[in-house]
Amino acid sequence: MDTPWQHTTVLLNEAVEAVLTKPDGTYVDATFGRGGHSRLLLSRLGPQGRLIAFDKDPEAVAEATRIQDPRFSIRHTAFTGIGELPPASVAGLLMDLGVSSPQIDNPARGFSFRADGPLDMRMDPTRGQSAAQWLATATQGEIAEVLRDYGEERFAVQIAKALVARRQERGPLSSTAELAQLVAGTVKTREPGQDPATRTFQALRILVNAELEELQEALGAALDILQPGGRLAVISFHSLEDRIAKQFIARHAREVVDRRAPFAPSAPLKLRAIARIKPSAAEIAANPRSRSAILRVAERTQD
């Protein structure tokens, strides 16, 4: 039965065209989501091609099992699991970061400040600590640090103080509506069109799912599993993710000279930057959630 929570894949054709160089190669969709990129990749693979997908969300894995194609397999794990693939075995790797529309739109998942639901935010609700559980014990300093570092929230201290005061007076928060209302009552100004709770929800989601740490680990693994000439494509939706991807590509796409031995050969380049692509005006008009997306593409070089 189809789920009511629909998802529109962002930069669909651009991302698939960026990574697909050998139709009979092995490809990885590191974030299956609802399978938009995977399905298009499969439609363009040759008979010997293979596609391995990863996702830690049980609902995404359930959707993936509907694909009846012997060239396809799904693994229920975080995309850091790509590091278990054989070295130099992958012709193309795609990472579509962040949270999917079904996760946001389903109040039961706890990602949205627009509808009331349990304050969860875990991409895999069977593992780890929920946002409510973390907020129930975190200190004011810890909360402020997370809101500042992961949400780039300039009112981090004020929100953290209000959260701890609420916890002491009436007990910990348990719902998304409670959190959104508390933040709205604390943050008096905000950018036009942005809900006051946007940055707080982003920060807690990133923390609960260890998103930035997993991204850094997965990017490091990409260097090992990509073949020479293999492509890496990363779609990010906020500046923290994009900065990590941008700096990772830049770091491995320039020669490194050891200043202690300036006449020694420089370290070989591991990546070559290919492109930076943003959604078209037509895509943004059809899917406003795509407006902040950035696709960065790089190619694995010979060591």
Kindly calculate the radius of gyration of the chain based on its CA atoms and give it in whole angstroms: 21
Residue 2: predicted pLDDT: 41
Residue 98: predicted pLDDT: 81
For residues 16 and 97, membership in a common domain is answered with yes
Residue 271: its H or E element: strand 271-277
Q: How many domains does the chain have?
A: 2
pTM of the predicted protein model? 0.90
CATH number of the CATH domain containing 247: 3.40.50.150
Residue 262: predicted pLDDT: 58
Structural domain boundaries enclosing 242? 12-101+211-300
Q: Is residue 108 part of a domain?
A: no
- Count CA within 13 A, CB hemisphere, residue 200: 32
Q: Is residue 287 part of a domain?
A: yes
The alpha helices in 75-210, defined as continuous H runs, are 101-105, 131-135, 140-151, 156-170, 176-186, 198-208
For residue 136, give both structure tokens: 């129930």
Residue 215: predicted pLDDT: 97
Domain boundary among 188, 208, 228: 208
For residue 85, give both structure tokens: 């693939």
Q: Is residue 2 part of a domain?
A: no
Domain boundary among 190, 208, 226: 208
Mean pLDDT of the chain: 92
- Beta bridge partners, 295, equal 235, 277
Residue 172: predicted pLDDT: 94
Contacts of 168 (CB under 8 A, 6+ apart): none
For residues 215 and 229, membership in a common domain is answered with yes
Stretches in the chain below the pLDDT threshold 50: 1-3, 5, 257
- Count CA within 13 A, CB hemisphere, residue 174: 2
Instruction: Note the pLDDT tens digit of each residue in 17-61.
Output: 999 999 999 999 999 999 999 999 999 999 999 999 999 999 999
Strands (E), 84-242: 90-96, 226-236
Domain boundary among 156, 174, 208: 208
Instruction: Note the pLDDT tens digit of each residue in 177-191.
Output: 999 999 999 997 777
